Structure 1
Amino acid sequence: MRILKKLLVRIILLIVAAGILCGSVVAVLGYLMYRDALKEQSLEDKVAEVQADPSYTALADLPEIYLDAVVAVEDHRFEQHCGIDIIAIARAAWNNIKSWSLREGGSTITQQLAKNLYFTQERSFIRKAAEVFMAFRLERTYSKDEILELYVNSIYFGDGYYCVRDASEGYFGKEPADMTDEEATLLAGIPNAPSVYSLTANPDLAAQRQQYVLQQMVKYGHLGEEEAAAILQN
């Protein structure tokens, strides 16, 4: 019995050691990817490139309900974290272990911005590590408002629309500031899976996603239940 216990302890220690070693390798390779990305183009130049787009829209020109919807559905701890959300990452890691896949990433708005600015959509641990390093850099360099503004101006909304202004004009034929509450909350749900929630390809699925957006807004105190219900009735 003692031999079995010792063997079990050794196996556990080997697994832990292997995990630490693999994690260290991934972190180093991720840092190198992050460093190479900045060597190719500095963060300041990359941000200036996004801001120079004629369709770039300032936060002041966006409906408050749209911004609240984005934060509620994408990263409700956005104002509290330093670029990564440990709770979301732990939940995603557990779900990935259970499914033996990389279906969930637990990405914050800052991490998504880092990916959109520098990296591909490839799902790998190394790219994820590089994304984390870039998220930390973004949080050190820019304010939360600046990060959120860059985010909504660099995400994909389907149908060839790569920023909030293009999506608002393309889907609704109006400036972002003129979106109704119904349109704003509908638009906020699309970037999670643009090919799935595109308003032209799958309007019914987009409407289902909007219901989830409104549920999250109620859950995190951005809307009351009656307000959310009224938006759906419009």
Structure 2
Amino acid sequence: MKRLKKLIKRLFLLTVVVIVIAGCVLAGSGYKMYRDALNHQGLESKVAEIQSNPSYTTLSEMPELYLDAVVAVEDHRFEQHLGIDLIAIGRAAWNNLTSWSLREGGSTITQQLAKNMYFTQEKSFIRKIAEMFMAFRLESSYTKDEILELYLNSIYFGDGYYCVRDASQGYFGKDPIDMTDYESTLLAGIPNAPSVYSLTANPDLAEQRQQYVIQQMVKYGYISEGEGKKIIAVRG
């Protein structure tokens, strides 16, 4: 019995050591990917590149309700975290382990911006770690408003639209500031899966996603349940 206990203890310690070593290797590889990305193009240069887009839109040119909808559905702890959301990462890690996949990332808005700016959409642990390092760099260099603004001017909305102005003009024929509450909540849900929720490809699925957006807004106190029902009822 004592031998069995010793064997179990040794196996446990060996497993811990292997996990620590693997973690260090992954962290080192992720940091190298992060540094290589910055060496290829500095952060200020990358930001300036996004801001040089003729369609670039400031937060003041977007409806407040649209901004609330994006934060509610994509990263409701956006104002509190420093680039990564440990609660969301823990939940995603558990779901990935139980499903033996990398289908859930737990990414914050800052991480998504980092990925869009520097990395591919490939799902890998090394890329995820590099993305985290870049998220920390973004948070230390820019304000939350600047990060959100850059994010909304660099995400994909489907149908070839890579920023909020192009998407609002393409889908609704108007500038972002002129979007109705209905249009704002509809557009906020698309970047989660642009090919799935594109308004031209799957308008019904886009509306289903919109209902989830509104549920999240109600859940986190951005609007009341009654206001959410009114938005759906108006339909533009």
Q: TM-score, normalised by structure 1?
A: 0.99
Q: Distance in 1 between matches of 2:224 and 2:10?
A: 54
Q: 1:100 aligned to 2:100? A: yes
Q: Distance in 1 between matches of 2:79 and 2:139?
A: 11
- Post-superposition CA distance 1:154-176 (Å, at most 9, x none): 00000000000000000000000
Is 1:213 the counterpart of 2:213 in the alignment?
Answer: yes
Counterpart position of 1:37? 37
Task: Give the Å deviation of 1:7.
Answer: 1.4
Q: In structure 2, how many angstroms separate the alpha carbons of the residues matched to 1:189 and 1:5?
A: 53
Partner of 2:53: 53
Could you list the runs of 5+ residues in structure 2 that have no partner in the other structure?
Answer: none
CA RMSD of aligned residues (A): 0.5
* Mapped partners of 1:105, 1:9: distance in 2: 33
| Other structure's SS at 2:6 match | helix
Aligned-residue offset at 1:13: 1.3
**Residue in 2 aligned with 1:194?**
194
Q: Partner residue of 2:15?
A: 15
Deviation at 1:209, TM superposition (A): 0.4
Q: Measure the CA separation in 2 of the matches of 1:130 and 1:73.
A: 24
Distance 1:88 1:116 in 2: 19
Q: CA deviation at 1:2?
A: 1.7
Q: Deviations over 1:35-69 (max 9, x none)?
A: 01001100000000000000000000000000000
Amino acid of the residue matched to residue 133 of structure 1? F
Matches within 5 A, 1:1-234: 1-234=1-234
SS at match of 2:230: helix
> Counterpart of 2:206 in 1: which secondary structure?
helix
Q: Secondary structure at the residue paired with 1:200?
A: coil
Kindly state the Cα deviation for residue 11 of structure 1 after the two structures are TM-superposed. Answer: 1.4
Q: Tell me the distance in 2 between the aligned counterparts of 1:94 and 1:15.
A: 18
Alignment: residue pair count: 234
How far residue 16 of structure 1 moved from its aligned partner, in angstroms, is 1.3
Instruction: Quote how far apart the aligned CAs of 1:216 are.
Output: 0.3
Is the partner of 1:105 in helix, strand or coil?
coil
What is the TM-score when the length of structure 2 is the normalising length? 0.98
> Which runs of 5 or more structure 1 residues have no equivalent in the other structure?
none
Percent identical among aligned pairs is 74
